[in-house]
Amino acid sequence: MDTNELIAHLSSQAAPTRVSKSPWHMALVWLVGFTIYVALAVLASGLRVDILAQLKTPLFALEIALLVALVVSCAVSAAVLSFPDRYQARRAAQMPLAFFALFAAIILFALITQAVPVELAIKHCECTLFMTFYALLPAAALFYSMRRAASTSPAAASCVAVLTAFAIGALILRLEEQTDSVSHVVMYHYLPMLAAALLGLMVGRKLLRW
């Protein structure tokens, strides 16, 4: 067959592919879904009884606000990193770095000013397990969606996706768990969240392979 016939033959056999939405659309859809998910999770388990009083506390209110900012910035970053050329939005992909640094600084300040030693006990590991449980559904949704966009930065994309999911889990836990111990939160909430993000970084090439 000649060249034109070969092209026509190959074209007829090519399966149509669905065009990916823009990262901004992806991130918006994710964030709407995450908002509903957090609301349902908190509704099912119940808010901590002193939530209104705690929100009047500057450090707690700032912690919650930065957790929300971390989720939003990570969702945007994950969407951008899902595309082969990062959608030519490198700054958007790097947004979580600033929020994570600010979040870490606030938590470190609260930890130093509280100066209460952490209590190591198996029972407290339940917090980590609950946070992981809350993170599973968002993580699965993110990776399912991101695999269809053909990322060329799988390690970074996976790390940010896992951080997004665990930040959601941490946010739910802070809204429902009755604790004021910053050392407890660091040990059983935020260090496991960081460990999970590093694990996502290491296995990203397998999770987002295409």
User: At residue 162, what are phi and psi to the nearest 5 degrees?
Assistant: -65, -40
- Lookup: tokens for 65: 């606000």
Tell whether the model's pLDDT for residue 2 goes beyond 80. no
User: At residue 151, what are phi and psi to the nearest 5 degrees?
Assistant: -70, 140
Tell me the mean pLDDT in the region 104-133: 78
Q: Please give the angle made by the CA atoms of 184, 187 and 189, to the nearest 5 degrees.
A: 85
Q: What is the pLDDT of residue 167?
A: 97
This prediction has a pTM of: 0.86
Residues of the chain with pLDDT > 90, as a percent, come to 59
